[in-house]
Each structure stands twice: as structure tokens, then as C-alpha cells.
């Protein structure tokens, strides 16, 4: 967890927080006095490694941080037992997060507590499957080792997701998808390397850890690069929308609002979080094909368009998709952009696709785009009231607009979860355009 905003669901968060702390305290009290199953040198080396891991956290895309401590926790758990592993984890968190990084103590204590829960839950699973603390057998204990590591990962990632979901949103499940699902292979590699370290340490002693030190460092570095690439991709897409500002301020402001509406609809339709990201990217750049100078006269023309002007305007989805598709990781986003003006009845453009052929993201983007177009000022008319825009969407459901998406929007609006995003007035946009021209 990385920010200190007040909880979105304060009552549920307090219940969760107290349950985590009470559970951790009860487990420690029950196991208090248990001697470590290995030498104190192991505990000292483990504490040092945990501190180093805490000093180099990786920021997760959905909020919070992740360290490579799992690769250290697993061998400690199998060699020292849950009480001493939890104690070392808590000590590293309190020293680094509390004293060095000066993070809020509410969060530091929470993080220390979930380390305790993870250690005891993992040890219980390990012993239930036939493992013995202090003894690491391979391959006979492979199943117990795998289950132990997976349990530690699930407890920690689950608690972090619940905490962020209750304080910052969206739901804990979506936070888990955003933070952990996309990088699941990296997280599982941490578990596998931790198990390998335990096996090597048990077989040939502490010096054997030198054999797995380099793979551990490489795995952690690869995970950091993966997270940074995802963050850089979103920054790149947002930069593309700023290009629109140089051409037409309205188009950029419109794209930002459409992206907010599209994300609400995608989550309302229970689309998985990786797909929500793609839809958000597509919404931000869906009008990128309008950057050509030929579009500016058309967009600002107060009267009706000629047939030639209509043909020019209808080319912008394909033109925008062509630009976006040049980035390999945005290929699926490009398909959403290309089809965002298609209609379920086949009367859309540029290809006249019908409902079953339309990507889900394009259906969502079409509705979000139309809603914002109707509820914001245009050169040829003032914004419509929200009620009138909703009536138009309902009237076009199944023909011009995807009926499931329209129904979702209506339901969200009825329960107060689809508020109007403020848009500039025609006068404000005129001033923005004048400033843009002066600046160029």
C-alpha cells in the first residue's frame, strides 16, 4: 500500500484490519517460545536478506508494493519454522518501512501482520501435506513445498488486495488481477526459487545459496522491468492523447472523458481487468486518426457536412488504428479503435461489421463515445441534458448501440455510479483553441 487516503469503505476496512491484527497476534501467542529449527546464523543471514529486499520494493500497477522477500521467506520458513520467520519478516518491515522509509504506521503494522498470517498458514499447509519443519526432502516433498510457497503468495497477495480495494478501490478482486494476475509467472518464479534455495541450503549448507543468488537477482530484476514496462505503456498512451491537444483541445478532453466512462462500463459489465486496461487505452487514443489537418475544418464546421467531408471523417477509425498498431503490445487496442464506430445493425463504419463481429471493447467505446458527445458542447449545438442522452441511447439500443452496454449504463446511472464528467463549455474550448494557435 502506497498512499494514505482515508478508506473508501471505512467500516469494512476497520473490520478487516482488526481481524488481520487479531489473527496475527493469536498465532504468535499460541506459538510463543517455540525454538528455531536451525542455527541462529540462519536467522541472522535471513534478517539481512529480508532487510535488503524491503529496501528495494517494486511498485505495483494497482497500488502497493512488492518485494522479492518471498525468495527468502520460504527457505526461512522451512528451516526455522513459522514463528521465527514471522518475527524476522515483522522486524524487517518495522525497521525499513517504519524507520527508514517512514511510511504510515497503520500500514507498516498491517504489512507485518500479513507476514505473520502468511508464515503460519504456509507452515500449516506444509505440515498437513507431510512436510516437517527443519527437514527439506526432494523430490519426495515437492508437493508440500509447492503448496507451501503457493499458500504464502496467496495469503500475502490476497491481504494486500483487500486492503487496497477497501481503501482506494476498485474491488479487491480487480486489484488482485491488476497487481498479481498479469505477473503471475514472475510471482511463481519467486516461490520456485525460494523452494530451490531451501533444498540447496538443506543439502549442502549456506554456501550453496551462492548457486541460486544470481537467478534470484535476475528474477527480481525481470519482475521490476515487467512492471515498469506496463507503467511506461500507459504513460505512452497518455502522451499520445496530449498530441491531440496540439491539434484540437476538444478532441483531447473528449478522449479523457470517454476513457473514464469506458472504464466504468467495462467494470460494470464485469470484464477482466487486463481487458479494462485495453479499453481504457483505446478510449484515450480512439480519435488519434483526426490529427490530420483535413479533419480540423470538418470538426469545427457549424453546418452540415458534404459527402466528401463525411468520407474523410469516416476514415479516422482506420487511420487511428494504423498508428496505434505500430506498437506491438497495442495490437488488440488497435482493433478496438478500428471498430469503435461500427454498429450492431451493420450500418456503422469503416467496414459495416455486425454485432457478433464487433470486439466487446468497441461496443463499450461506442456507447461511451456517444454519451460524451451528447452531454458536451459541440461547435454546432449545446450539450444535451443527461436524461435526454440516456433516452437517445435507449432508443438506439440493439441497432446503433450494443444493448447490453446501454443497459449497463442505465443501471449504473440509476444507482448513482455513472456521474457526468465535467466538460468545457463552447466558450472555454474557443479560448483553448486560440491559445493553441498562438502557441504554435
Residue-range domains of the chain with CATH: 10-231 (1.10.1760), 248-439 (1.10.3210.10)
Cα-to-chain-centroid distance, residue 195? 28
Low-confidence ranges of the chain (pLDDT < 70): 1-7, 36-39, 206-210, 245-252, 292-310, 312, 379-380, 425-440
The whole-number pLDDT of residue 303 equals: 59
The whole-number pLDDT of residue 438 equals: 47
Give the C-alpha separation, 22 to 43, whole Å: 25
The whole-number pLDDT of residue 3 equals: 38
Please, what's the b/e burial string for 79-96 (b: 16 or more CB within 10 A of its CB; e: otherwise)? bbbbbbbbbbbbebbbbb
The whole-number pLDDT of residue 120 equals: 95
Q: CA quadruple 250, 255, 257, 261: dihedral positive or negative? A: positive
Which residues have a Cβ under 8 Å from the Cβ of 395 and sit 6 or more positions away?
Answer: none
- Taking the model in full, what pTM does it have? 0.81
Alpha-carbon Rg for the chain in angstroms: 27
The whole-number pLDDT of residue 301 equals: 56
Tell me which residue of 363, 381, 383, 155 sits closest to 269, measured CA to CA: 363
The whole-number pLDDT of residue 1 equals: 37
The whole-number pLDDT of residue 7 equals: 57
Burial tier of 390 (Cβ tally within 10 Å: 0-12, 13-18, 19+): buried
Query: Mapped to the 3 state alphabet, what secondary structure does the chain carry?
Result: CCCCCCCCCHHHHHHHHHHHHHHHHHHHHHHCCCCCCCCHHHHHHHHHHHHHHHHCCEECCCCCEECCCHHHHHHHHHHHCHHHHHHHHHHHHHHHHHHHCCCCHHHHHHHHHHHHHHHHHHHHHHHHCCCECCECCCCCCHHHHHHHHHHHHHHHHHHHHHHHHHHCCCCHHHHHHHHHHCCHHHHHHHHHHHHHHHHHHHHHCHHHHHHHHHHHHHHHHHHHHHHHHHHHHHHHHHHHHHHHHHHCHHHHHHHHHHHHHHHHHHHHCCCCHHHHHHHHHHHHHCCHHHCCHHHHHHHCCCCCCCHHHHHHHHCHHHHHHHHHCCCHHHHHHHHHHHCCCCCCECCCCCCCCEHHHCCHHHHHHHHHHHHHHHHCCECCECCCCHHHHHHHHHHHECCCECHHHHHHHHHHHHCCCCCCCCCCCHHHHHHHHHHHHHHC
- Gap between the terminal Cα atoms of the chain: 42
Amino acid at each position: 500500500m502506497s498512499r494514505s487516503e482515508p478508506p473508501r469503505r471505512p467500516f469494512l476496512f476497520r473490520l478487516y484490519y482488526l481481524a488481520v491484527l487479531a489473527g496475527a497476534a493469536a498465532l504468535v501467542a499460541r506459538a510463543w517460545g517455540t525454538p528455531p529449527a536451525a542455527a541462529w546464523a540462519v536467522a541472522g543471514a535471513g534478517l539481512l536478506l529480508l532487510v535488503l529486499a524491503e529496501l528495494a520494493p517494486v511498485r505495483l500497477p494497482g497500488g502497493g508494493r512488492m518485494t522479492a522477500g518471498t525468495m527468502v521467506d520460504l527457505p526461512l520458513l522451512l528451516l526455522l519454522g513459522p514463528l521465527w520467520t514471522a518475527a524476522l519478516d515483522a522486524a524487517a518491515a518495522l525497521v525499513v518501512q517504519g524507520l527508514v522509509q517512514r511510511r504510515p504506521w497503520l500500514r507498516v503494522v498491517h504489512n507485518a501482520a500479513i507476514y505473520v498470517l502468511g508464515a503460519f498458514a504456509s507452515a500449516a499447509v506444509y505440515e498437513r501435506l507431510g512436510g516437517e519443519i527443519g527437514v527439506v526432502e526432494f523430490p519426495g516433498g515437492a508437493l508440500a513445498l509447492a503448496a507451501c510457497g503457493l499458500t504464502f503468495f496467496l495469503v500475502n497477495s490476497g491481504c494486500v488486495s483487500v486492503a487496497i480495494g477497501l481503501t482506494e478501490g476498485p474491488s479487491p478482486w480487480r486489484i488482485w488481477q491488476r497487481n498479481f494476475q498479469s505477473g503471475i509467472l514472475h510471482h511463481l518464479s519467486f516461490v520456485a526459487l525460494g523452494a530451490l534455495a531451501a533444498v540447496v541450503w538443506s543439502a549442502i549448507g549456506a554456501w550453496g545459496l551462492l548457486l541460486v543468488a544470481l537467478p534470484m537477482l535476475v528474477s527480481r530484476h525481470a519482475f521490476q522491468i515487467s512492471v515498469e514496462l506496463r507503467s511506461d505503456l500507459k504513460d505512452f498512451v497518455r502522451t499520445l492523447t496530449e498530441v491531440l491537444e496540439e491539434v484540437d483541445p476538444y478532441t483531447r478532453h473528449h478522449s479523457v472523458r470517454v476513457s473514464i466512462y469506458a472504464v466504468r462500463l467495462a467494470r460494470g459489465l464485469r470484464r477482466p481487468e487486463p481487458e479494462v486496461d485495453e479499453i481504457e487505452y483505446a478510449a484515450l487514443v480512439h480519435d488519434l486518426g483526426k490529427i490530420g489537418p483535413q479533419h480540423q475544418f470538418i470538426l469545427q464546421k457549424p453546418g452540415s457536412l458534404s459527402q466528401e467531408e463525411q468520407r474523410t471523417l469516416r476514415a479516422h477509425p482506420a487511420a487511428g488504428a494504423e498508428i496505434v498498431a505500430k506498437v506491438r503490445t497495442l495490437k488488440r487496442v488497435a482493433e478496438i479503435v478500428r471498430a469503435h464506430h461500427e454498429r450492431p445493425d451493420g450500418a456503422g463504419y469503416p467496414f459495416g461489421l455486425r454485432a457478433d463481429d464487433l470486439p466487446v471493447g468497441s461496443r463499450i467505446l461506442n456507447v461511451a463515445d456517444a454519451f460524451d458527445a451528447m452531454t458536451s458542447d459541440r461547435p454546432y449545438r449545446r450539450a444535451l441534458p443527461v436524461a435526454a442522452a440516456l433516452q437517445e441511447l435507449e432508443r438506439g439500443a440493439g441497432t446503433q448501440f450494443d444493448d447490453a452496454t446501454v443497459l449497463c449504463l442505465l443501471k449504473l446511472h440509476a444507482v448513482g455510479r455513472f456521474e457526468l464528467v465535467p466538460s468545457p463549455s463552447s466558450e472555454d474550448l474557443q479560448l483553448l483553441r486560440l491559445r493553441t494557435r498562438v502557441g504554435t
